[in-house]
Structure 1
Amino acid sequence: MFVSSLRVGRHAGLLTHWYFPGIPMTTIRIDESLRSYIDPLTEDEYAALERSLLDEGCRDALVLWGDLLVDGHNRYGICQKHGIAFQTVQNTRFKSMEDVHLWMIDNHLGRRSVSDFQRGVLALRKKEILSERAREEPAVDADASAPPADPGPAFDPSPVASAPAISREALARAARISSNTLGQIEKIRKTAAPELVDAVKSGVISINAAAAVASLPGEQQVAAVAGGKKELRQAARQVRESRLPPKPAPEPLELPPDATPEQIEIAQLKHRVAELTDERDQLKKKVQHLTIALSEARGGQA
C-alpha cells in the first residue's frame, strides 16, 4: 500500500500527520516485542475492529515515537490492508523504552475491554518498572513531575516520571481490581504452568481458582487443565480443603471420682457443646469454599 503524509498540527510536544492512499509514505517501524507487550485481540475482537474501520474509518490517531509504532498495531495493519487513511501523533516526550511501556500500560488500564487478569498483569509490570527506577534513580520532586497546565489532546501520552515504587493497594486501585486479586495474579504469574495461564486468559478458570491450582506441582496443573473446567474446579476445591486446619482431637472428659450424676451430665453436655462449636466452625469454612466454587461454576455457565 502507498500513502502520502501531511503535517497538520503541533501541540504540547505532539506532532500529528495524516496518511492517505496514493503516494509512498515515510517508514513506520514495527517492533515485535512492543507489539506483543499487550495481549493480542481475540479473533472476534479483531473482526469487530476491522468492521468498524471499514464502516467509520480510522478515527483514533496511531501513536509514534520517532518512526516506532507505539499504539495502534492492529489499526495500522487493517488500514494498510484496505487502503484506509489514518492519522498519527508523534510523541516527543518519551525518553526510553521504559517510558513507552509505562504509557502503554496506563493507556490499556484505561480501557473497559481489558479483563481483570490482564489488568493485574499490567499493574505488576508497572510495579516492576517503577521499583527498578526507584532503585536506580532518586525520587522526582512532586512539582517537577506535575503535568503541564494545558494537557493537549484528550489522551496524555507523556511517560510516568521516576518515583518510588507504589504499594500493592495503590496498584490495585489503579487497575480497578482488589488487592487480594492482584496478589492472586502475582502468584499465578510466578508459579502457574503456561497451560494454566492460558486457561485463565481464556476464561476457562477464574483467577481465584487458578491461584489455588497454581499451588500444585506443574504436571498436576497441566493434567487439571487437560481435564477441562470440571477437573480444574475439583483441583481448586481439593487445594482449598487441604488448607483447612485439621479437626483437633476431643479432650478427654475429666471428672472427680465423687462426681454426682448431675455433675457428670453437665460435664458431658459442655463437652458436647465444645465439639459442636468446633464442627460448626469447620462447616462455615467449608461453606465459604463451596460458595466460591459455586460462583465459579455459575460464571462458567454464563
Structure 2
Amino acid sequence: MIITINEDLRAYIDPLTEDEYAALERSLLSEGCRDALVLWGDLLVDGHNRYGICQKHGLPFNTVQNQAFQSMDDVHLWMIDNHLGRRSVSDFQRGVLALRKKEIVSARVAQQSPAASAGDAVYAQAEQESVKESPLSREAVARAARMSSATLGQIEKIQKTAAPELVTAIKSGAISINAAAAVASLPSEKQVAAVAGGKKELRQVARQVREARLPQKPKVELATPPDGASAEQVEIYRLNVLLAAVTEERDLLKKKVQNLTIALAEVRSEQ
C-alpha cells in the first residue's frame, strides 16, 4: 500500500507534545492501532502520529477512504472539525482552528458562482452545505470553538500581533489568552523580553498594560469659597473636597479589584 505524506498537511494541526506522543505510543503498543487512518486517495489525512509509530514498531493498521473530499479545502475543513471535537485541544488551539475555518468558508463564499454546470453540481451542493453549516459571524465561529466571542477576538489579535515567543508561551500554558492579548499590544521586542522574564514577569506586564488602558477620570476643579464666605459655604467646600478624594480612592480600588480578579482567574486556569 502506498501512503503519501504531505508535510504541509501534517503541520496543519499543532503537533503532539512529547508526553502526548509517548502516551499514544504506549497505547498503540499495548492495544494496537484500533482507529483506521483516513486517506484521500493515497494521501494521509488523519493519523500521521499513529502511522509513524506503527511503521516504527511494525504494527498493523487499517485505512479508510473519505469519499466526500473534493478539494484540499474540504480536507482542511474536515481536519478542523475533527480536532474541534477533541477534548485534549486547548482553548487557544480551538480558537486558531475556528478562525482558519472562517477564513476558508469566507473565501468559498467570495468565489461561489451563482450557477454551477451539471458536472460541478455535486461539488457545488457540498460547498453550499458547508457554508450553511458554518455561518460566518464571529459569534457562530466562537460557538463552534466553545468559547466566547471576546476570547475569539483576543486570539485573532494574538495571531496578528504576537511575537512567536509569546505564541509559544501561550501554547505551553505560561500565560493565559487574556493576558497574552494585552502583552501582544506591545512592540515585539518588549513581548520577547516579557516572555524571557517568565510567568511572573508576563503577568506583571499584562497588568501594567491593562492599567494603562483604563480611562482616567478628569479631576473636578472645585471653586474655592469667595472672600467673606459663610461658615456653611466653607463647610460645603470642605465636604466636596473630601467627597472628591474618597471618589478617587474608590475608583483606584475598583481598578485594583478588576486586575486582581483577572490575575486570580488566570492562576486558577493554570492549576
Q: TM-score, normalised by structure 1?
A: 0.80
Tell me the distance in 2 between the aligned counterparts of 1:172 and 1:241. 27
Are residue 56 (structure 1) and residue 28 (structure 2) matched?
no
Q: What whole-Å deviation, never above 9, does each CA across 1:127-170 have from its counterpart, x for those lacking one? A: 11111111111589xxx99x99xxxxxxxxx9962458511111
1:222 maps to which of 183, 188, 192: 192
Structure 1 residues 27-36 or 130-139, which shifts more?
130-139
Give the Å deviation of 1:238.
1.0
1:168-247 pair list within 5 angstroms: 168-247=138-217
Secondary structure at 1:58 match in 2: coil
1:1-302 pair list within 5 angstroms: 26-138=1-113, 161-163=130-132, 166-255=136-225, 259-300=229-270, 302=271
Give the direction of change, closer, same or farther, for the CA distance of 1:159–1:221 in structure 2 (3 Å limit). Answer: farther
Tell me the distance in 2 between the aligned counterparts of 1:295 and 1:209. 11
- Give 5+ residue unaligned stretches, structure 2: 116-121
Question: Does the 8 Å contact 2:84/2:145 carry over to 1?
Answer: yes
- Give 5+ residue unaligned stretches, structure 1: 1-25, 149-157
Question: Does the 8 Å contact 1:139/1:162 carry over to 2?
Answer: no
Query: Which structure shows the bigger proportion of residues in helix conformation?
Result: 2
Question: Does the 8 Å contact 1:102/1:160 carry over to 2?
Answer: no
* One-letter amino acid of the counterpart of residue 174, structure 1: A
* One-letter amino acid of the counterpart of residue 75, structure 1: R
* One-letter amino acid of the counterpart of residue 136, structure 1: Q
Structure 1 residues 255-264 or 168-177, which shifts more?
255-264
Q: Which has the higher contact order (CA 8 A, sep 6+)?
A: 1
Tell me the distance in 2 between the aligned counterparts of 1:68 and 1:80. 16
Q: What whole-Å deviation, never above 9, does each CA across 1:15-68 have from its counterpart, x for those lacking one? A: xxxxxxxxxxx2010000000000000010001001111111111111110110
Question: Does the 8 Å contact 1:181/1:208 carry over to 2?
Answer: yes
Give the Å deviation of 1:254.
4.7
Query: What percent identity do the matched residue pairs reach?
Result: 71
Give the Å deviation of 1:278.
3.8
* One-letter amino acid of the counterpart of residue 31, structure 1: N
Secondary structure at 1:130 match in 2: helix
Give the direction of change, closer, same or farther, for the CA distance of 1:181–1:58 in structure 2 (3 Å limit). Answer: same
Q: What whole-Å deviation, never above 9, does each CA across 1:181-219 have from its counterpart, x for those lacking one? A: 111111110000000000000101111111110011000
**Corresponding residue for 1:15?**
none
Question: Does the 8 Å contact 2:225/2:234 carry over to 1?
Answer: yes
Tell me the distance in 1 between the aligned counterparts of 2:182 and 2:72. 35
CA RMSD for the aligned pairs?
2.4
Q: TM-score, normalised by structure 2?
A: 0.89
Secondary structure at 1:123 match in 2: helix
